[in-house]
Amino acid sequence: MDESSHQSDPLRRARLRWRARRGLLENDLIFERFFSRYEHDLSDADVGALTRLLELSDNDLMDLLLVRKEPEGDLADPDVIRVLELLRNA
């Protein structure tokens, strides 16, 4: 495994958790459950997809998490869709 990967670097995992802290409590609760279940199973591709989702505004992210919207454009990518499904099921 690459030494710079998510799995081999506890600091990268901590940064990802910190970045997932959101302004909306509902999003925070979903991410807390997500990390409790999947943090140690995430691949680097999953981390990249999660990072892309975290670039969204809180409201846009909530719309995706609550299935009010589906990913479009650049976000309609298999890795993003996979991580989004994990988040929705967390």
pLDDT digits 0-9 by tens, 42-71: 888 999 999 999 999 999 999 999 999 999
Long-range contacts of 54-61 (CB under 8 A, 24+ apart): 54/19, 54/20, 58/22, 58/23, 58/24, 58/27, 59/24, 61/22, 61/27
Is the pLDDT at 7 greater than 50? The verdict is yes
Prediction pTM value: 0.81
Six-digit token string for 37: 């279940």
Domain boundaries, the chain: 5-9+43-90
What is the residue type of 23? Answer: G
Question: What does the pLDDT read at residue 87?
Answer: 97
Who wins on pLDDT, 90 or 88? 88
